[in-house]
Structure 1
């Protein structure tokens, strides 16, 4: 049975709402097994991610023009209004009449009693689009950013506290835009320049990353898995901020490294590259499926020094107590607030209470990792979060309880990257400043 991109988008958004499924997995399944062809595939992706990114603003508009508030609408009606409004307000290439007509026709199948209501709301929003009102940006800045740039109000309040009004809005703007698509050259098999040339031969335009010497930003839309250069293990997908974790841990050939929260393997394999595939890396995570992802990536890239083991880092590492490591990477589970451009559905599922619970988990993992680091060894703690509670506060709490550890100032160790570091010598990247995901890392040394 054939489907339309709008119907497929509705079905995916409905599953995300009902099941908390992930957009990328559902989209990949539809694009692989569905019947959409050509431009319809691109429209499906645009609709799903666009609605998820702009959901807060779309609901703000619905509340202005609908006789019922979003909280009282049937789920199918609510989703149809979001889909229709997104096309009206954000997709210039779709004529207004086509956007309204297609949405109403879909409503006749999915919510027939509400098709007239949906038609009226969309047409009024189109007529009144110049009169859409937002909270006062001076007197209610958190509410303004939440409504205008589609973020949870609790999150915009934290950004305001951390960055001030001007920068908080710049960040909010950046977070509703698509993230860059970045890959990492596998320097065990090629150089970055050679990879770019190979990509050019495959019809792909790419530019070097600014901060990672191994990173390449892909500018041509592509299904990376179909490229021969990817299948041959010349590259792998990894954001530039994530690539910098291995660089700042700075492993040496022959060392023994632990990656405690390693799946899906991007950082483990990058560590192996930086070591010239010489030494040993123990990559740990929970569950066999996650470990298989690491093994598959290592095999594709031709890396032989990685072994995997199931480990729950939140519990005492009794299975590892007899082992000692020169360097440890703790890429802890976190809120993902630094990557909500990539996973926009996640920002609507989180709350401040979740951040507090995650910070407890992060502290537990960090303390457990510290027990098995060699004297004189180096530990890098990292999270893809912008929130202080998961970053600076975790490190300060750790240092207050672990007298054997000190912060190593990244400004002194990597002066060429100085603009990425805080006054404490921590790494903190911002999408609006640096063009990459929000990431935090602190490098700690265990005293001899």
Structure 2
């Protein structure tokens, strides 16, 4: 079988993301599954796609310094080729600048021949004058500085500055531009963390225990994990450390009946089952019936039997649970995903601040619908992977104003071992730059009457 140029493949993926708003991880997995990209080129493809998406704002700023034509007026093919070339020149140390320029120009002659000379000139001029590139002044325009230097939308860096101050926002912006850690969760129904780490070491994987999650393991690599014998044996599943904490705050007990709303792809569902010793009943629902297959596959691989899946729009009553109530409900609400943009960097360029209020209204609506399925004295955990106050504290406060039968519990009192991760109001909020995991939020609500 013939091989494929990883740079051309990266270009094609970036083009589809721009045109179709597709997801980078799905497109990369699909391309690699064809097995037409071999060896180190597989890693190069992944690096180019994610790298360009993470650094897109900075790359466009550099283009604007040397192009006589405004960046937003460039043909899409030309813009993508320039981003690919400049990313290799400025951010990829293992690729010589000469090779980055030559390979990009070669690709341009195939894809945009009339612009190949223009692309060549921009790349070489940017390389020669890299020390003269100007950036917004940090003191006078901190929002613009962080946006350009660390490649994030300015509306988002402003939000971070308001939440964390300029210094904290810069630490967060820097962390959000880097690849995220790769974390798994041990299947405690079959093994222990110590035994799994020993097994992974035997399989040639360097790993270390996570700081906060008692069942988390951080790996030094993410490729081909599904081919490991320990994965096939159901000894672990992939799940970020921040995501592993929300089920702990739910505190499910053996024999409970639990609803996991918006459950796909099933990481928290299976963790709840583990915490319950695979006893009781777990109802896992999602609005997308195709995603339910992912939950079932994970349960089968991990040997979990107490989960039943069904399609449900969490916004509306469901006949599947019309006469059912639950001791525990986990609402991992659909959100902007601002806390995981280093994993899904394409998302930060397609979002706007205008998206947040409609999203928050949907989240409140979900809580309004699901709260009636909770038993008296039952526990509901509301969680998102967003850094936005509007999708988190605002949603909780809005819900509590309309539902005096609920109170927000102080997680600092209930889980003192996690105290540094909680806000002054007793909510869970993790920050990538501070805690080494995704940006996550969780509030624990109790139905008192």
- Distance in 2 of aligned mates of 1:212 and 1:77: 45
Per-residue displacement from partner, 1:95-122 (whole Å, max 9, x unpaired)? Answer: 1111111111110010001011001101
Q: Report deviation, 1:222.
A: 3.3
Alpha carbons 2:3, 2:38 under 8 Å: kept: no
1:170-224 CA-partner distances (Å, limit 9, x unpaired): 0000001000000000000000000001101111111000000000001144311
Counterpart-to-counterpart distance in 2, 1:287 and 1:93: 42
8 Å contact kept, 1:317–1:368: no
Residue aligning to 2:275 = 274
The answer for the alignment partner of 1:173 in structure 2 is 174
Q: Distance in 1 between matches of 2:219 and 2:329?
A: 30
- Matched residue SS, 2:424: coil
Question: In the superposition, relative to structure 1, how do residues 153 and 418 fare at CA in structure 2: closer, same or farther (>3 Å)?
Answer: same
Contact 1:56/1:152 (8 A) holds in 2: yes
Point out where structure 1 has 5 or more consecutive residues left out of the alignment.
none
In structure 2, what is the Cα distance between the partners aligned to 1:303 and 1:256? 15
2:262 and 2:286 mapped to 1: Cα distance? Answer: 5
* Secondary structure, aligned partner of 2:108: helix
Distance 1:406 1:221, change over 3 A: closer
Equivalent residue for 2:415? 414
Q: Report how far residue 309 of structure 1 moved.
A: 1.1
For residues 256-267 of structure 1, the aligned pairs below 5 Å read 256-267=257-268
Match of 1:101 in 2: 102
Q: What's the CA shift string for 1:347-381, capped at 9, x where partnerless? A: 00101111111111100001111111000000000
In the other structure, the counterpart of 1:429 is: 430
Q: Is the contact made by 2:310 and 2:320 (CA closer than 8 Å) also made in structure 1?
A: no
Matches within 5 A, 1:117-156: 117-156=118-157
- 1:335-354 correspondence to structure 2 within 5 Å: 335-354=336-355
Aligned to 1:393: 394
Residue 2 and residue 219 in structure 1: after superposition, are their counterparts in 2 closer, same or farther (change >3 A)?
A: closer
SS of the residue 1:270 aligns to: helix
After TM superposition, give the deviation of residue 315 of structure 1 in Å: 1.5
Q: Deviations over 1:260-319 (max 9, x none)?
A: 110010000000000001111000111321111111111110001100111100123454
Give distance in 2, aligned partners of 1:168 and 1:425: 22
Q: CA RMSD in A?
A: 0.9
Q: Distance in 2 between matches of 1:271 and 1:43?
A: 37
TM-score, with length taken from structure 2: 0.99
Q: Distance in 2 between matches of 1:401 and 1:107?
A: 59
1:183 alignment partner, SS class = strand
Structure 1 distance, partners of 2:430, 2:375, is: 29
Matches within 5 A, 1:161-310: 161-310=162-311
Q: Distance in 1 between matches of 2:240 and 2:187?
A: 14
Find the aligned partners of 1:41 and 1:289 in 2 and give their Cα distance: 28
Task: Tell me the distance in 2 between the aligned counterparts of 1:318 and 1:446.
Answer: 23
Residue 72 (structure 1) aligns with: 73
Q: Aligned partners of 2:35, 2:26: CA distance in 1, in Å?
A: 13
Separation of aligned partners in 2, 1:118 and 1:222 = 33
Question: Cα gap change, 1:277/1:52 in structure 2, threshold over 3 Å: closer, same or farther?
Answer: same
Equivalent pair of 1:323/1:372 in contact (CA under 8 Å): yes
1:360 corresponds in structure 2 to 361
Gaps of 5+ in 2: none
Secondary structure of the residue aligned to 1:213 is coil
Give secondary structure in 2 for the equivalent of 1:164. Answer: helix
Kept in 2, the 8 Å contact 1:256–1:280? The answer is yes
* Equivalent-residue separation in structure 2 for 1:303 and 1:221 (angstroms): 24
CA contact (8 A) 2:225 2:231 kept: yes
The TM-score with structure 1 as length reference comes to: 0.99
User: In the alignment, which residue of structure 1 is the partner of 2:60?
Assistant: 59
The equivalent residue for 2:13 is 12
Q: Does 1:376 align with 2:377?
A: yes
Once the two structures are TM-superposed, the CA of residue 2 in structure 1 deviates from its matched residue by 3.2
Q: Quick check: 1:259–1:281 contact (8 Å CA) kept in 2?
A: yes
